[in-house]
Amino acid sequence: MDIKHKNQRVAIFIDIQNLYHSAKNLYGARVNFRNLLLEAIENRQLIRAIAYVAKSDEPGEASFFDVLEKTGIEIRIKDLQVYPDGTKKGDWDVGLAVDAIRVSQTVDVIILVSGDGDFVPLVEYLKALGKRVEVISFGRTTSYRLKEIVDDFYDLDEKPDYFLIKPTKGIAEGITGKIPKLIKIKLKKEDNKSKDENNDEKGDKKDER
């Protein structure tokens, strides 16, 4: 039975890496964390919202962190580890689990924003403490076992237009990227027309001389 009420105290823990890669691979888009937060809370009392990120010094990373903070989300940051063989690691599984257990003492509901099956033992432990545990993530990339044991699972795949921000192409990107064949022909004709006009102007100038 789905038991939610306005007096419940809620803490949200967001696995940014898991969510980022799922949104990118499934939709080629970014997550709208403001809408995600509103949906997760559902008019209940938000006590803490913490996001776990691996710092990689990529362009736009700082502005992304700013957006999270302005949304009211605390940020836990660790440097992305790069090994000699080229593999990278920046998961926060243990850190997130420790925070969730610690904060669970002061809340009624723990919401995990991740589809990672590694959190199954954490969910089982929190439920043994008598806590309500919910998961929000993309259903197609979420562990079956995780969906099975939580008190409520919210599938982001059901409302992608609401939870995602799709990148908009600028003029330059649109021209250099894939464009329909008819548009290419039109651009070519306009380019040839401009060349002809330039040649006519040069010819008129010669006649004037």
Token pair 């919202």 in the structure block, residue: 49
pLDDT of residue 158: 96
What is the predicted pLDDT for the residue at 161? 95
What is the predicted pLDDT for the residue at 178?
35
Structure-token match 């419940």, residue found = 8
pLDDT of residue 42: 92
Compute CA 77 distance to the chain's CA centroid, rounded to the nearest angstrom. Answer: 16
Give, for 109, the enclosing helix (H) or strand (E). Answer: strand 109-113
Instruction: Point out the residues of the chain with pLDDT beneath 50.
Output: 1, 169-190, 194
Identify whether the C-beta of residue 37 lies closer than 8 Å to the C-beta of residue 134. Answer: no
pLDDT in tens, 111-141: 999 999 999 999 999 999 999 999 999 999 9
